[in-house]
Amino acid sequence: MPEQRRGGARPSVNHDVFLGDNAGSVRDGLEGRDVIRIMTVDDHPLLREGIAALVAKQTDMEIVAEASSGREAVEQFRKHRPDVTLMDLQMPEMDGIDATSVIRGEFPEARIIVLTTHAGDVQISRALKAGARAYLLKGTLRKELLQTIRAVQSGQKRLSPEVAAEIAVHAMDDVLTPREVDVLRLVADGKANKEIAAHLSLTEETVKSHIRNILGKLGANDRTHAVAIGLRRGILDP
């Protein structure tokens, strides 16, 4: 028998736009399966409510906990031990990648699905290395979320097609060194070469060399273009 829902009654919210025409359908033959216990982690209440409404239509899953920050996610995971965690990346206090690392460090069996608006290949790689089992773009949740939850619960890994394509495009690219990332981050902050050199205790010539390498590796035309690419690919945080 499915275990009783915890956390009290949910508010009645109309999520027709989020759910889509097929969100209310329930797959045949699910009644005898164990209920998948889910935690949602996102700093936007409407997103959490939308997922809760979608999950409420299913007979084989339920929301057992919610969190609005990475730090709260760690605390709630320790308390509720969900089967599957839906993790946002950009959050206050502790981001989703750090929260995933902490949770997986304490609970290696934790199944975490990253939900984000960012498809940058570097950020995807960081999330997967931290222990995420799947990576979905929020724009695809209506089509892919439920099947991904079930797949991850059964031990599979999943990447949405858009995410897989982004990884493939940059699979052979040269990776920026940690020092080059430091330089690019300061370029993004609007620092001139002289300021970057002073901040990192480097010579201006060394900074110029790093910037040449950055432009070459990213295929960028100039500093501004390099920053734009760094943000898109997840090398730099938004």
Q: DSSP letter string over 11-76? A: P----HHHH-TTTT---TT-TTSPPEEEEEE-S-HHHHHHHHHHHHT-SSEEEEEEESSHHHHHHH
Mean pLDDT of 204-218: 94
Grade residue 117 by pLDDT with cuts at 50, 70 and 90.
confident
pLDDT of residue 233: 86
CA 235 to mean position of chain CA atoms = 14
Percent of the chain with pLDDT over 70: 86
What residue type is assigned to position 65 of the chain?
A: A
218 contacts 227 by C-beta, under 8 angstroms: no
Backbone angles phi, psi at 76, to 5 degrees: -70, -35
Backbone angles phi, psi at 80, to 5 degrees: -105, -20
- The two three-digit tokens of residue 209, written as one number: 């060399």
- pTM (2 decimals)? 0.69
Mean pLDDT of 110-121: 89
pLDDT of residue 33: 56
Q: Give the least confident one: 60-74, 101-115, 159-173, 178-192.
A: 159-173
Burial class (CB in 10 A: 0-12, 13-18, 19+), 45: exposed
pLDDT of residue 13: 45
Name the average pLDDT for the chain: 86
Q: What is the pLDDT of residues 13-48, one digit of tens each?
A: 444 444 444 444 444 444 445 899 999 999 999 999
Tell me: pLDDT of 3 over 70. Answer: no
Tell me: pLDDT of 98 over 90. Answer: yes
Grade residue 4 by pLDDT with cuts at 50, 70 and 90.
very low
pLDDT of residue 212: 94
pLDDT of residue 162: 80
4 or 120, greater pLDDT: 120
Q: Which residue has the tokens 């949405």?
A: 160
Domains of the chain (ranges; CATH) run 16-169 (3.40.50.2300), 178-233 (1.10.10.10)
Tell me: pLDDT of 2 over 50. Answer: no
Rg, Å, the chain Cα set: 21
Backbone angles phi, psi at 146, to 5 degrees: -65, -45
pLDDT of residue 170: 79
Mean pLDDT of 129-142: 91
pLDDT of residue 172: 75
Order of strands, sheet of 84-87, starting from the edge strand that comes earlier in the sequence: 61-67, 36-41, 84-87, 111-116, 134-137, 158-159
Q: What is the pLDDT of residues 43-87, one digit of tens each?
A: 999 999 999 999 999 999 999 999 999 999 999 999 999 999 999
pLDDT of residue 53: 94
